[in-house]
Amino acid sequence: MIRLLLLALLVLATVLVTRTLLYGGDAEFAADVGAPEQAAPIQLDEDLVLGRLSRAITFPTVSPQPPQPRDEQAFSGFLDWLESAYPRVFGALEAERIGGLTLLLTWRGSDRDARPVLLAGHYDVVPVTTDSGSEWTHPPFAGTVADGYLWGRGALDNKNGVIGLLEAVDWMLAHDERPARTVYFSFGHDEEIGGEDGAGAVVEALERRGARLAWSLDEGSFVFERMFPGVEERIAVINTAEKGSVTVRITASAAGGHSSMPPRRTAVGRLAEALVALERNPMPGGLDGLPAQTFDAVGPHMPFLPRLMFANRWLLGPLVEAQLEDLTFANAMMRTTTAPTMLSGSPKVNVLPTEASAIVNFRVHPRDTVESVLQHVRTLVENEHVRVEAVGGREASGVSNAHGEGFRAVARAVRGEFGELIVAPGLLVAATDTRHYARIADDAYRFNPMVVTEDELDGFHGIDERIPVAGMLQGVRAYVRLLRSL
């Protein structure tokens, strides 16, 4: 019996090791992307590029939460400055201000039979909270270049993309190079609050003109360094889908009164119990679909032990998923996430509220729906003292083709600039204007061709937003290579 057990263990170990050694992830996908092209280096006026991004950041184009008004002068001033900063671009391309503040540029191609593409970004930014300004290493709207970074609100989200694309077009025009197919450039003014009046209006305008895009590219993931433990290679995650979102208001009720005589169950206590229940019982997750494609692209480059685990998910899948759930970014890729964000209760320290409420934001995985999330919440917390109300929601996007023309064009441009790196399709856990552009595009992708690390990602919507100078310049060159391929 012991011999049989040992033999079975030996056979199992042989199978596990053999599968690990043969593990190639998605070999067909890797072959489809192809090897880097050996193209000549692209010479930029680096000081000019950085100077223009620095100046762009000085415009406080903040999209406040409605109904608070925006600073219209900052937005129109930014657009006026773009025209003066890029006379070659605005002289050669057709420029329109859609909805007054979103910029649509049209670069007419010579091949009328080729389907057009759209490259996009947004120039509005999130607010800097008044109590955090002093915590910034450099003022958030100064556009400071120091210590190998360009600092400021919008450096990563997403004036880097807007300026990067304009710099690439300017470089092409200066070198008398033009794409054969028509290219649209859309730079939105309200992405941070939904994009309805910006990207949404651009799509409506293009629809009226009968435009149908082969594909679109907007902001998204980056070329990541040191994001996956043990993986030394850079990883370009080109997002082929993005999560949806549903926001829920949870309201708990109880007897009010004076805080000196509280009842056994308060509204705040009931609300707290509901929130704890939601956090302890997340929506079911799993490493399948698009996240599985991402990790299959990265898996062959992992150290032996994690590679063994990923190569043998048929046996070790639950263990793999348990480990990934401890990584914030991986957990967000695998499931619909739960995030309580806003609370309200009593207006006074000694008054018991009759109602206490919380806003909870769920980012909806493509396997789930808005309705399934609402049903999950109601099943967990709704009762005679706790009510659940949806206050806004949209479904996850469709999944674009990771073997399509647009994906290959972006991947080859990135490899042409960065050399050998891992290219993987991915799921964007945030939201972009692409949800609008995808209405008129066969495929929609979300990616910034710039290198960032996990430390720099902390600046997104936070303190000390910044972009590496070298990464920004590489991004401009990658955009040039992408335009050349068109």
In the predicted structure, residue 31 carries a pLDDT above the cut 80: no
The C-alpha atoms of residue 83 and residue 155 are separated, in whole angstroms, by 20
For strands 117-122 and 183-188, give the pairing: parallel
Both tokens of 461, joined, read 């919507």
The C-alpha atoms of residue 98 and residue 184 are separated, in whole angstroms, by 13
Per-residue pLDDT, averaged over 250-274, amounts to 95
Q: How many CB atoms lie within 10 A of CB 208?
A: 8
In the predicted structure, residue 329 carries a pLDDT above the cut 90: no
For strands 94-98 and 102-107, give the pairing: antiparallel
pLDDT digits (tens, 9 = 90+) for 265-294: 999 999 999 999 999 999 999 999 999 999
Q: What is the chain's mean pLDDT, rounded?
A: 93
Q: Which of 26, 124, 417, 433 is catalytic?
A: 124
Q: Return the percentage of the chain with pLDDT > 90, whole number.
A: 84
pLDDT of residue 30: 60
Nearest partner of 395 among 417, 423, 367, 375, judged by Cα: 367
135 is catalytic: no
The C-alpha atoms of residue 97 and residue 89 are separated, in whole angstroms, by 15
Q: Is the peptide bond before 347 cis (omega within 30 degrees of 0)?
A: no
Q: Which of 167, 190, 191, 321 is catalytic?
A: 191
pLDDT of residue 476: 98
In the predicted structure, residue 175 carries a pLDDT above the cut 80: yes
pLDDT of residue 4: 81
167 is catalytic: no
**One-letter amino acid for residue 353 of the chain:** P
pLDDT of residue 454: 81
Both tokens of 399, joined, read 């999944």
Cβ burial 8-29 (10 Å sphere, 16+ → b, else e): eeeeeeeebeebbeebebbeeb
For residue 428, the cross-strand partners are: 242
In the predicted structure, residue 28 carries a pLDDT above the cut 80: no
**One-letter amino acid for residue 176 of the chain:** D
pLDDT band at 29, cuts 50/70/90? low
Do the Cβ atoms of 78 and 100 come closer than 8 Å?
A: no
Q: What is the pTM of this model?
A: 0.92
pLDDT band at 32, cuts 50/70/90? low
3-state DSSP of the chain: CHHHHHHHHHHHHHHHHHHHHHCCCCHHHHHHHCCCCCCCCCCCCHHHHHHHHHHHHCCCCECCCCCCCCCHHHHHHHHHHHHHHCHHHHHHCEEEEECCCEEEEEECCCCCCCCCEEEEEECCECCCCCCCHHHCCCCCCCCCEECCEEECCCCCCCHHHHHHHHHHHHHHHHCCCCCCCCEEEEEECCHHHCCCCCHHHHHHHHHHCCCCEEEEEEEEEEEEECCCCCCCCCEEEEEEEECEEEEEEEEEECCCEECCCCCCCCHHHHHHHHHHHHHHCCCCCCCCHHHHHHHHHHHHHCCHHHHHHHHCHHHHHHHHHHHHCCCHHHHHHHCCEEEEEEEECCCCCCEECCEEEEEEEEEECCCCCHHHHHHHHHHHHCECCEEEEEEEEECCCCCCCCCCHHHHHHHHHHHHHHCCCEEEEEEECCCCCHHHHHHHEEEEEEEEEEEEEHHHHCCCCCCCCEEEHHHHHHHHHHHHHHHHHC
Nearest partner of 223 among 476, 422, 449, judged by Cα: 449
For residue 451, the cross-strand partners are: 223
Place of tokens 């150290």: 303
Asked whether the CA dihedral 166, 172, 173, 177 is positive or negative, the reply is negative
Per-residue pLDDT, averaged over 186-213, amounts to 97
The C-alpha atoms of residue 177 and residue 307 are separated, in whole angstroms, by 44
pLDDT of residue 24: 78
pLDDT of residue 150: 97
Place of tokens 């695998």: 334
The C-alpha atoms of residue 121 and residue 188 are separated, in whole angstroms, by 6
pLDDT digits (tens, 9 = 90+) for 415-452: 999 998 999 999 999 999 999 999 999 999 999 999 98
